[in-house]
Structure 1
Amino acid sequence: MKIFEALRQDHEKQRLLLKILAETSGNTPARQEYFEELKQQLESHAIAEERHFYTHLLEKDATIDLTRHGIAEHHEIDELIAKLDDTDMSSPAWLHHLKVLQGKVEHHLADEEQEFFHVAGRVLNEHQKTELAAGYKKEMNQELAS
Protein backbone atom coordinates (compact mmCIF):
# COMPACT_ATOMS: atom_id res chain seq x y z
CA MET A 1 0.00 0.00 0.00
CA LYS A 2 1.19 3.50 -0.85
CA ILE A 3 0.75 6.52 1.42
CA PHE A 4 -1.91 8.01 -0.85
CA GLU A 5 -4.14 4.92 -0.57
CA ALA A 6 -3.74 4.84 3.21
CA LEU A 7 -4.70 8.49 3.52
CA ARG A 8 -7.66 8.14 1.12
CA GLN A 9 -9.06 5.25 3.18
CA ASP A 10 -9.15 7.46 6.26
CA HIS A 11 -10.49 10.39 4.26
CA GLU A 12 -13.47 8.24 3.28
CA LYS A 13 -14.12 7.37 6.95
CA GLN A 14 -14.06 11.07 7.82
CA ARG A 15 -16.47 11.97 5.00
CA LEU A 16 -18.87 9.23 6.07
CA LEU A 17 -18.79 10.25 9.74
CA LEU A 18 -19.44 13.89 8.80
CA LYS A 19 -22.37 12.88 6.58
CA ILE A 20 -23.88 10.69 9.31
CA LEU A 21 -23.42 13.40 11.95
CA ALA A 22 -25.07 16.03 9.75
CA GLU A 23 -28.18 13.82 9.69
CA THR A 24 -28.43 13.52 13.48
CA SER A 25 -30.34 15.86 15.74
CA GLY A 26 -30.42 16.81 19.39
CA ASN A 27 -28.20 15.74 22.23
CA THR A 28 -28.64 12.03 21.55
CA PRO A 29 -26.34 9.10 22.32
CA ALA A 30 -25.92 8.51 18.56
CA ARG A 31 -24.78 12.09 17.94
CA GLN A 32 -22.43 11.93 20.92
CA GLU A 33 -20.95 8.61 19.78
CA TYR A 34 -20.44 9.66 16.16
CA PHE A 35 -18.95 12.99 17.23
CA GLU A 36 -16.46 11.28 19.54
CA GLU A 37 -15.50 8.89 16.74
CA LEU A 38 -15.10 11.78 14.30
CA LYS A 39 -12.93 13.73 16.73
CA GLN A 40 -10.74 10.69 17.31
CA GLN A 41 -10.43 10.03 13.57
CA LEU A 42 -9.58 13.65 12.71
CA GLU A 43 -7.10 14.10 15.56
CA SER A 44 -5.35 10.78 14.98
CA HIS A 45 -5.25 11.37 11.23
CA ALA A 46 -3.72 14.84 11.62
CA ILE A 47 -1.01 13.57 13.97
CA ALA A 48 -0.12 10.56 11.83
CA GLU A 49 -0.32 12.53 8.57
CA GLU A 50 1.92 15.30 9.86
CA ARG A 51 4.50 12.85 11.22
CA HIS A 52 4.55 10.37 8.35
CA PHE A 53 3.70 12.45 5.29
CA TYR A 54 4.00 16.18 5.83
CA THR A 55 7.38 16.11 7.59
CA HIS A 56 8.97 14.44 4.56
CA LEU A 57 7.40 16.95 2.22
CA LEU A 58 8.58 20.00 4.18
CA GLU A 59 12.06 19.10 2.94
CA LYS A 60 11.09 19.50 -0.74
CA ASP A 61 10.78 22.87 -2.48
CA ALA A 62 7.90 21.66 -4.65
CA THR A 63 5.75 20.67 -1.67
CA ILE A 64 6.69 23.07 1.13
CA ASP A 65 3.86 25.56 0.50
CA LEU A 66 1.25 22.82 0.12
CA THR A 67 2.51 21.19 3.32
CA ARG A 68 2.32 24.42 5.30
CA HIS A 69 -1.19 25.01 3.96
CA GLY A 70 -2.24 21.50 5.02
CA ILE A 71 -0.88 22.01 8.53
CA ALA A 72 -2.70 25.35 8.80
CA GLU A 73 -5.94 23.65 7.77
CA HIS A 74 -5.41 20.97 10.44
CA HIS A 75 -5.19 23.80 12.98
CA GLU A 76 -8.42 25.36 11.67
CA ILE A 77 -10.14 21.97 11.93
CA ASP A 78 -8.92 21.64 15.55
CA GLU A 79 -10.43 25.05 16.34
CA LEU A 80 -13.77 24.05 14.82
CA ILE A 81 -13.80 20.83 16.85
CA ALA A 82 -13.15 22.88 20.01
CA LYS A 83 -16.07 25.16 19.07
CA LEU A 84 -18.31 22.11 18.71
CA ASP A 85 -17.10 20.80 22.07
CA ASP A 86 -18.09 24.13 23.65
CA THR A 87 -21.57 24.18 22.06
CA ASP A 88 -24.60 22.33 23.41
CA MET A 89 -25.40 19.49 21.00
CA SER A 90 -29.11 20.24 21.20
CA SER A 91 -28.54 23.83 20.07
CA PRO A 92 -29.12 24.75 16.40
CA ALA A 93 -25.67 26.40 16.57
CA TRP A 94 -24.09 22.96 17.00
CA LEU A 95 -25.37 21.77 13.63
CA HIS A 96 -24.27 25.07 12.06
CA HIS A 97 -20.74 24.60 13.44
CA LEU A 98 -20.75 20.99 12.25
CA LYS A 99 -21.65 22.13 8.72
CA VAL A 100 -18.76 24.61 8.82
CA LEU A 101 -16.45 21.80 9.99
CA GLN A 102 -17.79 19.52 7.26
CA GLY A 103 -17.06 22.15 4.63
CA LYS A 104 -13.55 22.76 5.94
CA VAL A 105 -12.71 19.05 6.16
CA GLU A 106 -14.11 18.30 2.71
CA HIS A 107 -12.16 21.24 1.25
CA HIS A 108 -8.98 20.03 2.95
CA LEU A 109 -9.43 16.45 1.72
CA ALA A 110 -10.15 17.62 -1.82
CA ASP A 111 -7.04 19.86 -1.76
CA GLU A 112 -4.92 16.91 -0.72
CA GLU A 113 -6.41 14.39 -3.12
CA GLN A 114 -6.68 16.62 -6.18
CA GLU A 115 -3.49 18.66 -5.90
CA PHE A 116 -1.17 17.75 -3.04
CA PHE A 117 -1.05 14.01 -3.76
CA HIS A 118 -0.13 14.65 -7.40
CA VAL A 119 2.78 16.93 -6.51
CA ALA A 120 3.92 14.65 -3.67
CA GLY A 121 3.74 11.68 -6.04
CA ARG A 122 6.39 13.32 -8.19
CA VAL A 123 8.83 14.08 -5.34
CA LEU A 124 8.56 10.77 -3.45
CA ASN A 125 9.99 7.56 -4.83
CA GLU A 126 8.09 4.25 -4.73
CA HIS A 127 9.98 2.97 -1.68
CA GLN A 128 9.21 6.17 0.24
CA LYS A 129 5.52 5.95 -0.68
CA THR A 130 5.34 2.41 0.72
CA GLU A 131 7.41 3.19 3.83
CA LEU A 132 5.38 6.30 4.61
CA ALA A 133 2.16 4.29 4.34
CA ALA A 134 3.46 1.69 6.81
CA GLY A 135 4.51 4.37 9.29
CA TYR A 136 1.25 6.24 8.88
CA LYS A 137 -0.91 3.14 9.40
CA LYS A 138 1.10 2.11 12.47
CA GLU A 139 0.79 5.61 13.97
CA MET A 140 -2.95 5.73 13.22
CA ASN A 141 -3.49 2.42 14.97
CA GLN A 142 -1.52 3.58 17.99
CA GLU A 143 -3.38 6.90 18.15
CA LEU A 144 -6.79 5.26 17.83
CA ALA A 145 -5.90 2.71 20.50
CA SER A 146 -4.90 5.40 23.04
Structure 2
Amino acid sequence: MDIVDCILADHYRQRMMFAALDEARGDSESAGKIFDRLRNFLEAHAEAEELYFYPRLLQCGEGALDSDSAEETTDDAIDDHNKIAEAAEEAAGHEVGSEPWWECVDQANYKNSKHMSEEERQGLTDFRRRVPLEERVALGIKYLAFEAEHTRYQREEKDPDAYIRENEDA
Protein backbone atom coordinates (compact mmCIF):
# COMPACT_ATOMS: atom_id res chain seq x y z
CA MET A 1 0.00 0.00 0.00
CA ASP A 2 1.24 3.46 -0.95
CA ILE A 3 2.35 5.54 2.07
CA VAL A 4 0.23 8.42 0.78
CA ASP A 5 -2.83 6.14 0.92
CA CYS A 6 -1.82 5.00 4.42
CA ILE A 7 -1.64 8.59 5.65
CA LEU A 8 -4.97 9.47 4.04
CA ALA A 9 -6.58 6.41 5.65
CA ASP A 10 -5.19 7.50 9.02
CA HIS A 11 -6.62 10.97 8.48
CA TYR A 12 -10.05 9.49 7.79
CA ARG A 13 -9.81 7.47 11.00
CA GLN A 14 -8.76 10.53 12.99
CA ARG A 15 -11.74 12.49 11.67
CA MET A 16 -14.01 9.58 12.52
CA MET A 17 -12.67 9.31 16.08
CA PHE A 18 -13.02 13.04 16.73
CA ALA A 19 -16.60 12.81 15.41
CA ALA A 20 -17.23 9.86 17.73
CA LEU A 21 -16.01 11.98 20.64
CA ASP A 22 -18.60 14.61 19.75
CA GLU A 23 -21.26 11.91 19.79
CA ALA A 24 -20.00 10.67 23.17
CA ARG A 25 -20.62 13.97 24.99
CA GLY A 26 -22.53 13.00 28.09
CA ASP A 27 -20.92 9.55 28.20
CA SER A 28 -17.61 10.22 29.93
CA GLU A 29 -16.64 6.56 30.17
CA SER A 30 -16.89 6.05 26.41
CA ALA A 31 -15.39 9.46 25.62
CA GLY A 32 -12.38 8.71 27.80
CA LYS A 33 -11.75 5.37 26.12
CA ILE A 34 -12.15 6.83 22.63
CA PHE A 35 -9.83 9.70 23.46
CA ASP A 36 -7.16 7.41 24.94
CA ARG A 37 -7.20 5.35 21.75
CA LEU A 38 -7.20 8.46 19.57
CA ARG A 39 -4.33 10.00 21.51
CA ASN A 40 -2.19 6.88 21.07
CA PHE A 41 -3.16 6.67 17.42
CA LEU A 42 -2.18 10.32 16.84
CA GLU A 43 1.20 9.79 18.53
CA ALA A 44 2.05 6.66 16.53
CA HIS A 45 0.81 8.30 13.31
CA ALA A 46 2.99 11.38 13.83
CA GLU A 47 6.07 9.30 14.61
CA ALA A 48 5.50 7.02 11.60
CA GLU A 49 5.27 10.07 9.34
CA GLU A 50 8.44 11.48 10.87
CA LEU A 51 10.29 8.20 10.29
CA TYR A 52 9.13 7.29 6.78
CA PHE A 53 7.43 10.23 5.08
CA TYR A 54 9.10 13.51 5.98
CA PRO A 55 12.75 12.45 5.60
CA ARG A 56 12.06 11.39 2.00
CA LEU A 57 10.02 14.53 1.35
CA LEU A 58 12.97 16.61 2.52
CA GLN A 59 15.26 14.79 0.07
CA CYS A 60 13.15 15.17 -3.04
CA GLY A 61 10.31 17.60 -2.37
CA GLU A 62 10.12 21.07 -3.84
CA GLY A 63 6.98 22.39 -2.19
CA ALA A 64 3.50 22.15 -3.61
CA LEU A 65 0.55 24.48 -3.98
CA ASP A 66 0.80 27.03 -1.15
CA SER A 67 4.12 25.76 0.26
CA ASP A 68 7.37 27.16 -1.09
CA SER A 69 9.58 24.21 -0.13
CA ALA A 70 9.71 20.77 1.43
CA GLU A 71 11.55 22.35 4.36
CA GLU A 72 8.67 24.78 4.95
CA THR A 73 6.13 21.96 4.72
CA THR A 74 8.13 19.78 7.11
CA ASP A 75 8.82 22.55 9.63
CA ASP A 76 5.13 23.33 9.84
CA ALA A 77 4.15 19.66 10.10
CA ILE A 78 6.57 18.84 12.92
CA ASP A 79 5.43 21.95 14.79
CA ASP A 80 1.80 20.87 14.25
CA HIS A 81 2.57 17.38 15.60
CA ASN A 82 3.98 19.00 18.74
CA LYS A 83 0.93 21.25 19.19
CA ILE A 84 -1.52 18.38 18.70
CA ALA A 85 0.36 16.27 21.26
CA GLU A 86 0.45 19.20 23.71
CA ALA A 87 -3.33 19.67 23.47
CA ALA A 88 -3.90 15.95 23.98
CA GLU A 89 -1.50 15.91 26.93
CA GLU A 90 -3.28 18.85 28.49
CA ALA A 91 -6.60 17.02 28.18
CA ALA A 92 -5.08 14.08 30.06
CA GLY A 93 -4.53 16.41 33.00
CA HIS A 94 -8.26 17.06 33.44
CA GLU A 95 -11.15 14.91 34.53
CA VAL A 96 -12.64 13.16 31.52
CA GLY A 97 -15.88 14.81 30.48
CA SER A 98 -15.23 18.03 32.39
CA GLU A 99 -15.48 21.37 30.61
CA PRO A 100 -11.67 21.89 30.67
CA TRP A 101 -11.18 18.38 29.26
CA TRP A 102 -13.58 19.08 26.39
CA GLU A 103 -11.86 22.40 25.69
CA CYS A 104 -8.55 20.57 25.30
CA VAL A 105 -10.11 17.84 23.16
CA ASP A 106 -11.66 20.52 20.94
CA GLN A 107 -8.27 22.26 20.63
CA ALA A 108 -6.64 18.96 19.66
CA ASN A 109 -9.36 18.45 17.05
CA TYR A 110 -8.92 21.97 15.68
CA LYS A 111 -5.13 21.71 15.49
CA ASN A 112 -5.29 18.23 13.97
CA SER A 113 -7.88 19.25 11.36
CA LYS A 114 -5.74 22.22 10.32
CA HIS A 115 -2.67 20.00 10.11
CA MET A 116 -4.36 17.30 8.03
CA SER A 117 -5.68 19.86 5.55
CA GLU A 118 -2.25 21.40 5.06
CA GLU A 119 -0.53 18.02 4.85
CA GLU A 120 -2.99 16.71 2.26
CA ARG A 121 -2.70 19.87 0.18
CA GLN A 122 1.06 20.37 0.45
CA GLY A 123 3.19 17.41 1.58
CA LEU A 124 1.15 14.57 0.12
CA THR A 125 0.79 16.41 -3.20
CA ASP A 126 4.54 17.09 -3.35
CA PHE A 127 5.25 13.44 -2.47
CA ARG A 128 2.94 12.00 -5.12
CA ARG A 129 4.54 14.22 -7.75
CA ARG A 130 8.13 13.35 -6.90
CA VAL A 131 8.39 9.87 -5.35
CA PRO A 132 7.88 6.85 -7.63
CA LEU A 133 4.97 4.55 -6.80
CA GLU A 134 7.21 1.54 -6.12
CA GLU A 135 9.09 3.50 -3.45
CA ARG A 136 5.83 4.85 -1.98
CA VAL A 137 4.57 1.27 -1.63
CA ALA A 138 7.78 0.14 0.11
CA LEU A 139 7.52 3.09 2.50
CA GLY A 140 3.84 2.33 3.09
CA ILE A 141 4.68 -1.20 4.24
CA LYS A 142 7.24 0.13 6.74
CA TYR A 143 4.80 2.81 7.89
CA LEU A 144 2.03 0.28 8.53
CA ALA A 145 4.42 -2.10 10.30
CA PHE A 146 5.57 0.71 12.61
CA GLU A 147 2.00 1.68 13.48
CA ALA A 148 1.08 -1.97 14.11
CA GLU A 149 3.98 -2.30 16.53
CA HIS A 150 3.24 0.95 18.37
CA THR A 151 -0.37 0.87 19.46
CA ARG A 152 0.75 2.40 22.79
CA TYR A 153 3.44 4.76 21.54
CA GLN A 154 4.67 7.81 23.49
CA ARG A 155 5.88 10.46 21.06
CA GLU A 156 8.61 12.88 22.10
CA GLU A 157 8.40 16.54 21.09
CA LYS A 158 10.88 17.53 18.40
CA ASP A 159 12.42 20.82 17.38
CA PRO A 160 11.37 21.37 13.73
CA ASP A 161 14.66 23.05 12.72
CA ALA A 162 16.78 20.33 14.32
CA TYR A 163 14.59 17.67 12.70
CA ILE A 164 15.15 19.18 9.24
CA ARG A 165 18.92 19.40 9.77
CA GLU A 166 19.05 15.77 10.88
CA ASN A 167 16.91 14.43 8.04
CA GLU A 168 17.69 16.51 4.95
CA ASP A 169 20.46 14.18 3.87
CA ALA A 170 19.22 10.99 5.53
Compute the TM-score of the two structures, normalised by the length of structure 2.
Answer: 0.79
Root-mean-square deviation over aligned CA pairs: 1.7
CA distance in 1, matches of 2:152, 2:28: 25
Percent of pairs with identical residues? 25
Counterpart residue number, 2:51? 51
Alignment deviations for residues 41-73 of structure 1 (CA, whole Å, 9 cap, x no partner) = 101101111101012122235112211211110
Question: After the TM superposition, which residues 24-35 of structure 1 pair with which residues of structure 2 at under 5 Å, given as runs?
Answer: 24-25=24-25, 28-35=28-35
Q: Is the 8 A contact 1:22 1:99 kept in 2?
A: no
Q: Which of 76, 97, 110 lines up with 1:90 in the alignment?
A: 97
Q: 1:104 to 1:3 in 2, by over 3 A?
A: same
Matched to 1:59, the amino acid is Q
More helix by share: 1
Does the 8 Å contact 2:84/2:111 carry over to 1? yes
Distance 1:4 1:86, change over 3 A: same
**Is the Cα–Cα contact under 8 Å of residues 87 and 104 in structure 2 kept in the other structure?**
yes
Question: How many angstroms apart in 1 are the aligned matches of 2:97 and 2:83?
Answer: 23
Runs of at least 5 residues in structure 1 that lack an aligned partner in the other structure: none
| Secondary structure in 1 matching 2:97 | coil
- Provide Cα deviations, 1:20-42, integer angstroms capped at 9, x if missing partner: 11232357221111011101110
Residue 159 of structure 2 is matched in structure 1 by none
The answer on whether the counterparts of 1:18 and 1:102 sit within 8 Å (CA) in structure 2 is yes
Partner of 1:73: 80
Asked if the contact 2:60–2:131 (Cα under 8 Å) also holds between the matched residues in 1, the reply is no
> Contact 1:22 / 1:98 at 8 angstroms: preserved in 2?
no
* TM-score normalised by length of structure 1: 0.91
The separation in 1 between residues aligned to 2:136 and 2:123, in whole angstroms, is 14
- 2:60: which partner in 1? 60
Deviation at 1:143, TM superposition (A): 0.7
How many residue pairs align between the two structures?
146
Q: Where does residue 135 of structure 2 map in the other structure?
A: 128
| Aligned equivalent of 1:99 | 106
Per mean C-alpha deviation after superposition, the further-off stretch among 37-46 and 89-98 is 89-98
